[in-house]
Amino acid sequence: MFTGIYDERLFPIGLGTYGLVGVQAGPLSSGDKHLEAVKYAISSGINVIDTAEMYGEGRTEELVGRAISSFRRDDIFIISKVWPSNLERKKLFSSAEASLKRLGTNYIDLYLIHWPSQTVPLDESISAMLELRDRGVIREIGVSNFDNGLLDQALDYAGRGKIVANEIELNFSNFARSRETLEHCRSKGVRVIAYSPLSRGRISHNSGVQQIAQKYGATSVQVILRFLIEFSLPIPKSSNPEHIDEIVGAARVPLTEEVVDLLTHKF
Ligand SMILES: NC(=O)c1ccc[n+]([C@@H]2O[C@H](COP(=O)([O-])OP(=O)(O)OC[C@H]3O[C@@H](n4cnc5c(N)ncnc54)[C@H](OP(=O)(O)O)[C@@H]3O)[C@@H](O)[C@H]2O)c1
């Protein structure tokens, strides 16, 4: 079992799962392309999987549950999320239980508030999350799409060190605008999880990135992911084994400090 989001045994890139299964999809069959892709990613070394109760209205968690059943549970770090309409105390407990069932597990490594709620007081949700953590249903608590002010409020309610991650959009297009958030999270000991790290497939063909890619015998996707690893845990989604190979290979790209500096200014 991992010690948490900072465990060095976690692969530096996780697998996103949004869009793997549609709400209308029929029953999952073994050999399903998306199921096999998640298994392939895990076999290739990716041991962090990001999912949510909202994805495919639960179908994606079911698919993840099926995929991980071929592996030792403790070797995989599962991130799931509760949707804002379920942030009241009782609903939050039911959501977590339903996620456990779909995932076929008795704990979630990291459970996130998917988006802030406009109606449910944050302290109610945080105290419910803390209770889930004390009961061992979830091992760590995080948030997603929280701005700096809201993150501080969550930390005030939970206690420093108890909100371990903020999952935010971070990619080539918004990196420059995200620097303050990155610095804020770093200063609070909150790990950033970078969603849509490949800009939802609209991968940049920036010539600076391409030049660096050439220098290291890598691809632009790999340079972008490797760069984001310096600041976050990126979670690209892919159901294509070739793309998964490329994603895994990104962790091996040796970025020097000089290149990180250069990219920081190009991003
Ligand atoms: N917390 C939140 O509010 C939130 C919001 C959005 C997303 N997320 C999470 O973040 C994950 C990733 O974000 P995302 O799915 O929006 O976008 P993304 O990971 O930036 O992009 C996914 C797209 O990139 C393509 N792709 C993957 N690897 C590639 C490669 N090597 N070369 C070319 N194309 C490649 C995928 O196609 P193939 O499948 O064909 O490879 C897919 O179309 C989601 O799946 C979800 O888990 C969280």
pLDDT tens, position by position, 10-69 = 999 999 999 988 766 777 777 789 999 999 999 999 999 999 999 999 999 999 999 999
Q: What pLDDT, in 10s, does the model give residues 7-26?
A: 999 999 999 999 988 766 77
Q: Whose CA is nearest to atom 24 of ligand 1?
A: 201
pLDDT tens per residue across all 267 residues of the chain? 999 999 999 999 999 999 988 766 777 777 789 999 999 999 999 999 999 999 999 999 999 999 999 999 999 999 999 999 999 999 999 999 999 999 999 999 999 999 999 999 999 999 999 999 999 999 999 999 999 999 999 999 999 899 999 999 999 889 999 999 999 999 999 999 999 999 998 887 788 888 889 989 999 999 999 999 999 999 999 999 999 999 999 999 988 887 788 788 877
Catalytic residue among 40, 55, 111, 195: 55
Q: Considering the entire predicted model, what is its pTM?
A: 0.97
Could you tell me how far CA 220 lies from the centroid of its own chain? 21
Q: Verify whether residue 18 is a known catalytic residue.
A: no
Which residues in 35-72 are b (16+ Cβ under 10 Å) and which e?
A: bebbbbbbebebbbbbbbbbbbebbbbbbbbbbbeeee
User: What is the set of domains in the chain, with CATH numbers?
Assistant: 15-205+232-252 (3.20.20.100)
Among protein residues, the one with the nearest Cα to ligand 1's atom 22 is 200
Answer yes or no: is the C-beta of 144 below 6 A from any ligand 1 atom.
yes
